[in-house]
Amino acid sequence: MIDPVPALQARRLCAAYHQQTVLEDITLSLPQGQWTAIVGPNGAGKSSLLNLVIGSLAPLRGELRILGKSPASQRRAGNIAYMAQQEHMEWDFPISVRDTVLTGRYGLMRHDPLWQRLVPRHWANPSHRQAVEAALEAVDMADYAARPIGALSGGQKKRVMLARALAQQARILLLDEPLAGVDPPSEALILATLERERSAGRTVIMVTHDMPSARVHADNVLLINRTLVGMGTPDEMLSDAMLARLAVGAPEARHGGTRVAA
Ligand SMILES: Nc1ncnc2c1ncn2[C@@H]1O[C@H](COP(=O)(O)OP(=O)(O)OP(=O)(O)O)[C@@H](O)[C@H]1O
Ligand SMILES: [Mg+2]
């Protein structure tokens, strides 16, 4: 039976950085098991919305529930896997591709018995290693597993970070621009992987500027430009009229946001 609790439920949600409002009055509900594309111009607040969902940005006002609970508690419980936008990542750390993907399992390792947590990583519970290898296979990066992460190309790093999110086997996959900067075969591979995740009952929430992929694969599209401009099927939301409305956005957005009281 399908669990009726929404994957994500926002009510009058607002977010700000340094008292500058970047998201205003977002009310929406996303069911579990669907693929949602979040579309909007640069600076629209898409990554900020994902930061609210993982609990790394606190709402200024309003309410956000993930699977019926607070974002922070769901992140701790391992129900949210998150792949950050590549521009926001540091690559200057000397670890291998395989160990990078394994870091996606660290939250789950907390639930292992104490002795398992203390053994060297390569002796760890085989389920962790199996999940890492399966995720690397899924994005076709198994041959690169021993390479340092910093020595990969941009598209290869993106596939590794997707593998890290997949390895968490979380109920909700949050992906910030997983298709940006990857070549057509990698894009097809990523989309097929996400199709499999949805078929397995997972909720996929993906920020993208790739309209053709959103049109073909998403169940829902959210149009965001500081406010929620629209939400519906890809056919409804990706029409010329809706995209024109999205580009204009809320009047305040064109003037760099609204100041709010401290
Ligand atoms: N850490 C931060 N501190 C201050 N302002 C921020 C911070 N992060 C984002 N912003 C501002 O918040 C607004 C929304 O940014 P956000 O990164 O959410 O946009 P986006 O829709 O993801 O854009 P893009 O398509 O370029 O990734 C922008 O005006 C941005 O300058
Ligand atoms: Mg962004």
Largest CA distance in the chain: 59
Mutate to test the pocket of ligand 1, among 14, 46, 56 (most ligand atoms within 8 A of CB): 46
- CB proximity list for 173: less than 8 A, separation 6 or greater: 81, 83, 165, 166, 194, 197, 202, 203, 204, 205, 206
Asked if residue 55 has its Cβ within 6 Å of ligand 1, the reply is no
Q: Evaluate whether 57 touches 51 at the Cβ level (below 8 Å).
A: yes
Enclosing H/E stretch for 245:
helix 240-248
- Ligand 1, atom 27: closest residue by C-alpha: 42
- The top-level CATH class assigned to 1-79+170-262 is alpha beta
Residue 222 tokens read as 């959210």
Q: Return the pLDDT at 136.
A: 96
Nearest by Cα to 166 from 143, 193, 145, 140 = 193
Instruction: Domain ranges for the chain, please list them.
Output: 1-79+170-262, 94-166
- Ligand 1, atom 6: closest residue by C-alpha: 17
Tell me: the pLDDT tens digits for 68-108? 999 999 998 999 999 998 766 677 778 899 989 988 887 77
Q: Return the pLDDT at 126.
A: 76
Give residue 75 CA to ligand 2 midpoint distance, Å. Answer: 20
Asked if residue 85 has its Cβ within 6 Å of ligand 1, the reply is yes
Tell me: the pLDDT tens digits for 195-238? 999 999 999 999 999 999 999 999 999 999 999 999 999 999 99
Asked if residue 45 has its Cβ within 6 Å of ligand 1, the reply is yes
